[in-house]
Amino acid sequence: MVFHTLSGCLTRPRRSREAGRTAATEGKRSLDLDPKIRQALEGISTATLTTVLLKKGLRNVWMRGTRPIRDGQPRIVGRAFTLRFVPAREDLATPASWSNPISTRAAIEAMPEGCVAVVDAMGCKDAGIFGDILCARMARRGVAALITDGVVRDIAGVLGTGLPVWCDGAAAPPSVAGLTFVAWDQPIGCGGVAVFPGDVVVVDQDGAVLIPQDLLDAVVADAVEQERQEGWIMGEVEGGAALPGLYPPNAENKARYEAWKKEQP
């Protein structure tokens, strides 16, 4: 695709912009998540999910640098709505670019309710990708959370919006001081993890974990079972049981667990 510059701003041909708007409208439907899947994942820790995904051969699913902006943020589950920055280029990364059709402002208006905004900021820590006004608009639109491997700015104001945020800190300079925004709803890398639009993200106090869409049902089923089994194991530990043969369970303890499970409502 050919890009053009207009007054120092990055723009796309008119046809591409219209196609982007159509894709954003269609994306609202595709980003819906089955309520039963959402409810199940809200009860599963990211620690458990990384173990389940590891057993399925996926080691690189935890997004580095995604730390909760405040203690006590609830576990959030949603489909990824992706945004991408590249290094700043002085003729493009300007305050004027904030009015460009390809801008963070336009991307926020394309975010469907309930999505998790996942932003590739290349781990940049000296330019805040979003501040309080943008986060307030995201909260108003019903965005579930903001996740980035970069930082935010106006942190007191961001906290005041109530938007759950996971990031790598705060910095006063604006995004254009170090980054150029180029796209949304495309594959990105966040915290060293490949994130595709529509992948499912679960984030809690341990950070953000990605579940590939094609593995969602299998991961949820295995994770629910693992949480149940580890709950039983914790009960055994609290009762004084030793760890060898219990965690992980040997054949005898597996049989005891299965018998216990049959007794549960």
Of 153, 114, 115, 110, nearest to 135 (Cα)?
153
Global pTM reads: 0.86
4-211 has which fold?
A: Glucose Oxidase; domain 1 (3.50.30)
Q: Measured between alpha carbons, how far is 190 from 210 in angstroms, rounded to an integer?
A: 10
> Percent of the chain beyond pLDDT 70?
89
- Predicted confidence at residue 228, as pLDDT, reads 96
Give the span between the Cα atoms of 62 and 59, in whole angstroms.
8
pLDDT value, residue 6: 39
Q: Does pLDDT of 125 surpass 70?
A: yes
Query: What pLDDT score was predicted for residue 246?
Result: 98
Strand pairing category for 116-120 and 76-87: parallel
Buried b (16+ CB within 10 A) or exposed e, 8-34: ebbbbeeeeeeebeeebeebeeebebe
Structure confidence at residue 208 as a pLDDT band (50, 70, 90)? very high
Q: What is the pLDDT of residue 265?
A: 85
Answer yes or no: is pLDDT of 128 > 50. yes
pLDDT at residue 207 greater than cutoff 70: yes
Question: Using CA atoms in the order 221, 223, 225, 231, what is the torsion angle rounded to 10 degrees?
Answer: -160
Output the pLDDT for position 183. Answer: 97
Could you write out the three-class secondary structure of 117-168?
EEEECCCCCCCECCCHHHHHHHHHCCCCEEEECCEECCHHHHHHHCCCEEEC
pLDDT attached to residue 99: 85
Categorize the per-residue pLDDT at 22 as very low, low, confident or very high, splitting at 50, 70 and 90. Answer: very low
Reduced to 3 states (helix: H, G, I; strand: E, B; else coil), residue 4 is: strand
Average pLDDT over residues 174-178: 95
The pLDDT value recorded for residue 95 is: 86
Question: Torsion angle, CA of 52/55/59/63, rounded to 10 degrees?
Answer: 0
Cβ-based neighbours of 122, under 8 Å, separated by 6 or more:
85, 86, 87, 149, 150, 179
* Residue range 225-243, pLDDT digits in tens: 999 999 999 999 999 999 9
30-83 pLDDT, tens digit each: 578 999 999 999 999 999 999 999 999 999 999 999 999 999 999 999 999 999
Residue 12 pLDDT exceeds 90: no
Q: What is the CA radius of gyration of the chain?
A: 21
The residue with greater pLDDT, 23 or 196, is 196
Nearest-10 crossing angle of helices 216-238, 251-263: 100
CA angle centred on 190, ends 156 and 153, rounded to 5°: 15
Mean pLDDT of all residues belonging to the chain = 90
Residue range(s) of every CATH 3.50.30.40 domain in the chain: 4-211
The torsion of the CA quartet 224, 230, 236, 238, rounded to 10 degrees, works out to -110
Q: What is the pLDDT of residue 30?
A: 53
Residue with tokens 């690189």: 60
The pLDDT of residue 74: 96
Residues 135-147 have pLDDT tens digits of 999 999 999 999 9
Rounded Cα distance, 191 and 201, in Å: 13
Let me know: does 208 contact 24? Beta carbons within 8 Å.
no
Query: Is 177's pLDDT higher than 80?
Result: yes
Distance CA 165, CA 249 (A): 37
